[in-house]
Amino acid sequence: MFQNNPLLTKLKKNLHAQIPRVEGIVKSNERGFGFLEVDTQKSYFIPPKNMKKVMHGDKIIALLKIEKDREIVEPEKLIEAFLNRFVGKIEKKDNQLFIIPDYPFLKDRIICQPDQNCINIFQDGDWAIAQLIQHKLKGDHIFYAKLNEKITHKDDPFIPWWVTLARHKIDKTEPLAEEHDLILKEHYPRKNLTDLDFITIDNINTKDIDDAIFVNEDSHGNICLTIAIADPTAYIKNDSKLDHIALERSFTNYLPGFNIPMLPRNLSENLCSLRPNKCRPVLACNITILKDGSLSNNINFFLAWIKSKAKLSYDHVADWINKSGSWIPPTKSIQKQILILHRLCLLRIKWRQKNAILFKDSLEYRFHLSENGNVIDILVEKRLISHKIIEECMILANISAANFLSKHLGFGIYSIHSGFDIINAEHVVSFLRNYNLNFNAKEITTLKGFCNLKRVLNILSNNYIDNRVRRFQSFGDLSILPGPHFSLGFLEYATWTSPIRKYSDMINHRLLKSIIHNEKVTKPSEEIKFKINENKRRNRIAERDISDWLYVIFFKKQQYQNKKFDAEITDISRNGIRARLIKNGAYVFIPGIFIHSIRKELHFNKEIGKVFINNIMRYKISDIIQITLLDIRLESRSIIAKIEC
């Protein structure tokens, strides 16, 4: 008699409406259950039966219920699916295609159907781009995806590269060059500097050489530096097809093993590259460095032709300066160039030590790959004196460009860094008091005060304090208008020394040329700045993802499981420690269970970067610990380790 009773239906609706609801992100667990993370402090249990309606990462609204005296949630409404366009691995069974998304917490197969244009090309183990078109929380019976594009086949040794690039929508080939792209478009008069002994110093395999330098000394002991930069804008007209392609890419993408150029290789590695004994058009500037290491105000930008007399390598130059190895400069003139450049470098380092901020030397790691993409070894690379020579020259060039642009235009593409905001400055001051370091919050928000703080920390040389202070700093950014770069210690900074590799430097080239020729120019747009920033972020993530994948493949093949390594703690999370192996740069995760066996006695304090056991601090960020590798997981590209007590 109660069937189809309108009063009963209304009562049910009212009762349903009164059930509390929560909104959050689904976090799945390997054992079938999950949690709805509402914020960093609060999450609710999702039983296995309810997890079948959602995927890890979905943003949902859920009903909050009590079941067996425990708060649980039941997914009700999908706000945003974690999967939309995604990459995954094909599984073929009984003529039915499935795809397993390439995400650590998404292990379930999704039924899929190829796009009509590529229906017959998928085989078991292939990699593909797919689109999720059905979701259970939208009322569909199953999760269902459409296959849009094949990435590569299962036996391709370059899977880590192609899959990662596809995921991040990054081009995997160079732009195509048409015949008119390779013709010099500009016919401005240029100074003929082909007789001067310009040299380039790069990695031994570098082909896209974009800077050459020439130095001499005047009668007063000042050093006159001429920096010549490759000039791709002489070939690429503003607003041309190739210019738009360069903007879309924004950067040459340097990945383990190879690069994907921003410009066609015939330009970046041939016509524009400052190869030895080849006449090349350049944008150049003259700078005078005084005997105390300071920069003269007399800066001149101009167009020129140069002919590099030698392509030198960082290793050879550093060995010769340090009087080691067998290499010697090819001529007396080039030997003189290296000696003056070395003196310039030491002068500038001394000046920056007192007046700006010096970089700390750090280790870098490089994959040594075979031709078919196998990791042969992982090499440790240190910053050599030759790296510092080129670094100091390029810094001088970029300070000069910033000053020149500000004086004549008042805009450009500036690299900025604002140090601390006032709230974070207060946190820094409070933190440093614990170490008897007394600073004023207002003072360290100024460029002068920030530089002074950094110099004090450099002298102190405490990696934990450095790390904590760095966490309060703002992020670097690009700006159309001049602004200070706190982390370098300069009032303004605008890069123009890598136009073959960076679109922002191409923009600054055009602006500098407009000043030289007294031409009208348009101010760069905020949209261009945002695009460059986004592409930079995307490229960095892709490089990191490929590196993580290669580390896991290498460790699997080398059977590094159960091997011991020294590692530096780089981060503390709610559940464990992240550390970097000093020998090869791989990141590992150490879960709480492998730090201390009794979980309730263990406390991770992410805010201060420390781990406590029974309220006693045992580990902190920057500590060097010994770890053993326990599990090398290819599916999630992660390495699990334990601490050796």
Q: Give which of 428, 473, 468 is closest to 610, Cα–Cα.
A: 468
Matching residue, tokens 């001499």: 216
In a domain, 277, yes or no: yes
Tokens of 5: 């009773």
What's the number of domains the chain is made of?
Answer: 5
- Say whether both 124 and 242 belong to one domain: no
Number of neighbouring beta carbons within 10 Å of residue 14 = 9
In a domain, 552, yes or no: no
- Say whether both 467 and 599 belong to one domain: no
Q: Give which of 545, 505, 281, 278 is closest to 412, Cα–Cα.
A: 505
Residues 160, 165, 167, 170, Cα dihedral to 10°: 180
- Say whether both 101 and 220 belong to one domain: no
In a domain, 408, yes or no: no
- Say whether both 443 and 506 belong to one domain: no
Which of 39, 61, 80 is the endpoint of a domain? Answer: 80
Distance between CA 587 and CA 606 in Å, rounded? Answer: 18
- Say whether both 254 and 293 belong to one domain: yes
- Say whether both 465 and 501 belong to one domain: no
| Strand duo 576-581 + 624-633: pairing | unpaired
Distance between CA 519 and CA 567 in Å, rounded? Answer: 55
In a domain, 323, yes or no: yes
**Which residues touch 421 (CB under 8 Å, ≥6 apart)?**
445, 474
* Alpha helix stretches (DSSP H) within 499-640: 503-516, 526-557
In a domain, 409, yes or no: no
What residue numbers bound the domain in which 390 lies?
A: 179-355+363-401+495-545
Q: By CB neighbour count within 10 A (0-12 exposed, 13-18 middle, 19+ buried), where does 265 fall?
A: middle
SS3 30: coil
The answer to whether 414 touches 492, Cβ cutoff 8 Å, is: yes
Q: Give which of 638, 603, 601, 598 is closest to 619, Cα–Cα.
A: 603
| Long-range contacts from 554-558, C-beta under 8 angstroms, 24+ separation | 554/375, 554/378, 555/586, 555/629, 555/632, 555/639, 556/632, 556/634, 557/375
Tokens of 222: 């000042």
The answer to whether 490 touches 454, Cβ cutoff 8 Å, is: no
DSSP state of 314: H
Q: 521 vs 61, 196, 438, 517, CA distance in Å?
A: 51, 32, 48, 11
Distance between CA 274 and CA 228 in Å, rounded? Answer: 9
- The pLDDT value recorded for residue 16 is 54
Chain mean position to CA 278: 34
- Say whether both 259 and 347 belong to one domain: yes
Distance between CA 439 and CA 431 in Å, rounded? Answer: 10
Question: Residue 132: enclosing H or E segment and its boundaries?
Answer: strand 127-134
Chain mean position to CA 351: 29
Residues taking part in catalysis: 202, 208, 210-211, 314, 501
Distance between CA 176 and CA 237 in Å, rounded? Answer: 16
Matching residue, tokens 């003269």: 296
- Say whether both 377 and 341 belong to one domain: yes
SS3 433: helix
The answer to whether 533 touches 426, Cβ cutoff 8 Å, is: no
- Say whether both 536 and 577 belong to one domain: no
- Say whether both 205 and 319 belong to one domain: yes
- Say whether both 591 and 526 belong to one domain: no
In a domain, 433, yes or no: yes
The answer to whether 621 touches 464, Cβ cutoff 8 Å, is: yes
Tokens of 508: 């600054």
Residue type, 211: D
In a domain, 2, yes or no: no
- Say whether both 243 and 338 belong to one domain: yes
Q: 141 vs 48, 52, 54, CA distance in Å?
A: 17, 11, 12
pTM of the model: 0.91
**Which residues touch 575 (CB under 8 Å, ≥6 apart)?**
591, 592, 604
Which of 545, 578, 607 is the endpoint of a domain? Answer: 545
* Alpha helix stretches (DSSP H) within 409-502: 422-433, 441-444, 447-460, 463-471
In a domain, 487, yes or no: no
DSSP state of 382: P
Q: By CB neighbour count within 10 A (0-12 exposed, 13-18 middle, 19+ buried), where does 464 fall?
A: middle
Residues of the chain with pLDDT under 50: 1
Distance between CA 536 and CA 415 in Å, rounded? Answer: 13
Q: Give which of 271, 269, 247, 270 is closest to 259, Cα–Cα.
A: 269
Tens digit of pLDDT for each residue in 5-56? 665 555 555 555 578 899 999 998 877 889 999 887 788 999 999 999 999 9
Which of 35, 60, 80 is the endpoint of a domain? Answer: 80
Tokens of 581: 């192996």
Q: What angle do CA 315, 401, 480 make, to 5 degrees?
A: 115
Distance between CA 417 and CA 552 in Å, rounded? Answer: 35
Distance between CA 112 and CA 110 in Å, rounded? Answer: 6
Burial 274-292 (b: 16+ CB within 10 A, else e): bbbeeebbbbbbbbbbeee
Give the end-to-end CA distance of the chain in Å, rounded to a whole number. Answer: 72
Phi/psi at 250 (nearest 5 deg)? 70, -30
**Which residues touch 635 (CB under 8 Å, ≥6 apart)?**
104, 107
The answer to whether 479 touches 416, Cβ cutoff 8 Å, is: yes
Q: By CB neighbour count within 10 A (0-12 exposed, 13-18 middle, 19+ buried), where does 7 fall?
A: exposed
